[in-house]
Amino acid sequence: MVAPQNTPEHRMHDDPPDIAAAKRALRDASKALRSRDAALSADVCHWLRTHLHTRKIRSVACTWPLEHEIDLRPLCHALHQDGLIIGLPETPKKGHPLTFRLWRPGCAMQPGRFGTQHPEGPVMTPDIVLVPMLAFDRRGYRLGYGGGYYDRTLAALPHARPVGYASSMQEKTAIPTGPHDIALPVIVTEREIIHCSAGKNPGQDDVTTPD
């Protein structure tokens, strides 16, 4: 995962000053509330795997967790066992999109920027990109770490479908949005699969929850 310092250089798009200030305040507050919970991570992995099984895909870009983040490593192993191709992000210099490299269980991992790790494997192009976040709302808008990596990555991969994931405690009534923010079609928490407005088909339920 990518957790860059929040600096203005190499911004993909500049928000209006009031929106930028609101995002900074929410970002700082959200970072202060982060903590890793093994049971929560397991539930998020379960719902992500459930959702991915409904998609006709061959490859998924996952993440390798930093401290206090949801741990998708069990999901990486499970999806590999399901026969899917798994990629993990290599973080470039600011201003560039992520590069996804092929991951297999037991493969060598290299240290990357901002404390991240990535495989040595070849570059791959995913069908699905799992997108981390600090906060989200039910419209599908997310608050990232401020580096713009996933914004640039999704712009560079127009055929890849993004799927956000987070703890339900990270949900907000409304994320501050600028003119260039794009809603995610789906966000998965430990409680539910939320079909957001950007990706909802007519007649589709808003959420999928346990029976």
Calculate the CA 177 to chain-centre distance: 17
pTM over 0.85: no
Q: Residue 141: which CATH number?
A: 3.40.50.10420
Of 173, 190, 189, 177, give the one whose Cα is nearest residue 138: 173
Report the amino acid identity of residue 195. Answer: H
Is residue 13 one of the residues assigned to a domain? no
Q: Would you write out the chain's pLDDT as a tens digit for each of its 211 residues?
A: 555 444 443 444 577 776 667 666 666 665 555 566 889 999 999 999 999 999 999 999 999 988 788 999 999 999 999 999 999 999 998 889 999 999 999 999 998 887 888 999 899 999 999 999 999 999 999 998 877 889 999 999 999 999 999 999 999 999 988 877 889 999 999 999 999 975 454 444 455 655 4
Q: By residue range, what is the domain housing residue 40?
A: 36-208
Is residue 11 one of the residues assigned to a domain? no
d(CA 89, CA 103): 10
Query: Looking at the 3D structure of the chain, how many domains does it have?
Result: 1
